[in-house]
Structure formats: C-alpha cells, structure tokens
Amino acid sequence: MREIKFVQAIIEALEEEMTRDETVFIIGLNVQADPILTPVRLVEKFGTKRLREVPIAEPGILGCGVGAALAGYRPIVHSRFVDFFMPAADELFHKAAKWRYIHGGKVTIPVTFLAGIGGYLGGGGPEHSQCLEGYIMHTPGLKLAIPTTPYDLKGLLKTAIRDNNPTVVLYHRILVGAGTSGLVPEEEYTIPFGQADIKREGKDVTVVATGLMVFMTLQVADQLQEKGLDVEVLDPRTLEPLDIETILSSVKKTHRLVIVDEDTLRCSVGAEIGMQFMEKGFDYLDAPIKRVGAANSPIPGGFMECYALPQPQDIADAITEVLGIKESFQVKPLELLKPGRHMGERLGYGKKEN
C-alpha cells in the first residue's frame, strides 16, 4: 500500500485501463491539457487519438460516446461539471440508458460518463455546483458510483470502464482540488458495484453519507465522540446498484438512521434511500429517520452558498435529534472548506500533476 492523492487515483485508473484495452479512449473538453486530470505522460503515451478534444457541444460529446460504444469502443466521456450533462440529457437518459433494453440485449453500450459534482466552490453558482445523482439514480439502465476515497475511486472507475453497460462515475471536485489522499494498493484491483463500505464503526446511530458528505460526517463523528456519542458512518459507494442490506444491518445494530446528501432534499437520493429502508427495516428504528441535504433552492454564488448547502452543524444537530438529545453540540467547520478561497483555487488550477 502507498498513499496517493484523489486525483492520482483517477489518472492511474485511466492509464491502466487504456494500457490494458486499446479500445478505451477519453473524450471531452480540454482532455489533452486539463490542469488536473491530464498529466503530460498520458498525452505522450496514448496520443491525441485516444484523448479526444471536442468543441463545447454537450449533445455531440455524449452522443459521440454512445456512438463509439455501439461501434465496439469503450469511451470515457469526461466533464469537470456534471451540470453540463443536462444539455445532453437525451443522449444520457434516453440513448445510453435505454438502447440495450430497446434492442433486446443484442447490443452493448460500454460507455463511462465521468464527471465532477458538488458545491462549496465559492463562486460556482446554480449551474456549476449541483449534485445531479438523483436524476441518474432515477433512470433505469444507468449504473452510478460516487467514490469518496482514492482507493474506492480507482477500483470503482476500473470496474465501470470494464462494464458492458453505461456507467456514471461522479467525483467531488473539492476532493480533487484539496489534494485529499489515501492508501491504495500497488497491485491491480477492482471494486464490485453494489457493496457499501463502513468508514467508521459505531453503536449509537448510523449515518449514511455520499460524496463530500462522507468526509464532513466523519469529522463531525470524531468531534461527537468527545461528547460520548458513537457514530457509525456508512458510504454506499454506488447508488445503482444500492447495497440496502448493509444499511439494514447497520441500523439493526444502532436503531437510528441519518442520511446526508448534498443534493436538494426534495426527491433526492436521501429520500430514496430512506424510503427503501422504511419498506424493509421500519421495525429496526427507535426514532424517525432524519435527512440532511441542500435547501430546495438554486445554489447561490459567493458567501450565500453556505445557507443553501449542508454544513457540519446540520449533521451534528440531526444526530443529536434522533438520539433524543436536547442540547446542541457545536462542531467545527470542515477544514477542506475554508472561507474566502476562489473557485479556481478550490478546483486546483495551477497545480498540474506530472
């Protein structure tokens, strides 16, 4: 095992899969000169034919990915902002998701849609800071992973690229820009979809969190430990397929459930997880499920962002509420989200990997 950065996990997965299979290639905006995700060695090793630059035309970009997959390639369609997939919704939600079913399984669509998600950018605003996993999870035919550690990211991305179905892999841009790191094996490995991971064991309450919210929840849990509260933190890792059984097993032990998701509360991933749990595990609960998410509002830019997106104190208050504690335990803000940093700095521009 060695410690690598979050972004290095992406680069290693791409390089290993492009080396293993010559049908794998990357297509997207600025993929030959991305300040973070395209180190010089990828361009030198694979050339511009396998790192395809395209104009700003999202329906064409995603459409090329779907078409290439139908033609026998394994394209990786990349966007720094998942928001930009929406102008190409027909290609993603109709063509990619449905065509294998429509054609009776006679064709495969091995395309991977790789995109950055999330707010806390200090200037992203309503069209660059969204978490759109709810749309994707809602659509039959699409698999969905949201890794939160370098280990999970590399293993799940390699699995996605090898899948004969359309997959979506979403990474939080803050985790890339902040240079977060973790232990990753030197030898090759993959991680199957549909296996949740308990990031922190506890006995008092289960918190299911996704994306950056995993990091935020872990920090809150460490602080609440000092108050005598033992919080279990569970990361689904993939939302389609969803490992509801591991969530059920955890809550059967703790008897309380909090779900933390950066998307809006209404019709969110958190709402779906909560409903699936209620259908199968209601009798395990000693208190109502509590959800933490973004306000039902477009995400504002600048300092107003913090009033719309989940904060550590929101998570702490939800935990104490399901535990029946009247006192509010104050917790510190997430270190990754220091105020006053410009969006470009948060995304890591100017810190190119070699």
Catalytic residue positions, numbered: 58, 128
Phi, psi of 290 (to 5 degrees): -120, 135
Q: What end-to-end distance do the CA atoms of the chain give, in Å?
A: 21
Q: Taking a C-beta distance cutoff of 8 angstroms, is the pair 280, 248 a contact?
A: yes
Say how far residue 49 (Cα) sits from the centre of its chain. 28
Instruction: Single out the residue of 237, 239, 238, 275 nearest to residue 257, CA to CA.
Output: 275
From CA 354, how far away is CA 348, in angstroms rounded?
A: 14
From CA 19, how far away is CA 232, in angstroms rounded?
A: 39
Q: In what order do the strands lie in the sheet with 167-172?
A: 51-53, 24-28, 74-79, 112-117, 167-172, 143-145, 238-240
Q: Taking a C-beta distance cutoff of 8 angstroms, is the pair 321, 203 a contact?
A: no
Q: Assign 311 to helix, strand or coil.
A: coil
Instruction: Single out the residue of 322, 197, 195, 311 nearest to residue 260, CA to CA.
Output: 311
Instruction: Single out the residue of 112, 115, 155 nearest to residue 131, CA to CA.
Output: 115
From CA 306, how far away is CA 324, in angstroms rounded?
A: 26
From CA 26, how far away is CA 167, in angstroms rounded?
A: 14
Q: What angle (nearest 5°) sits at the alpha carbon of residue 249, between those of residues 243 and 252?
A: 140
144: β partners: 168, 240
Residue length, the chain? Answer: 354
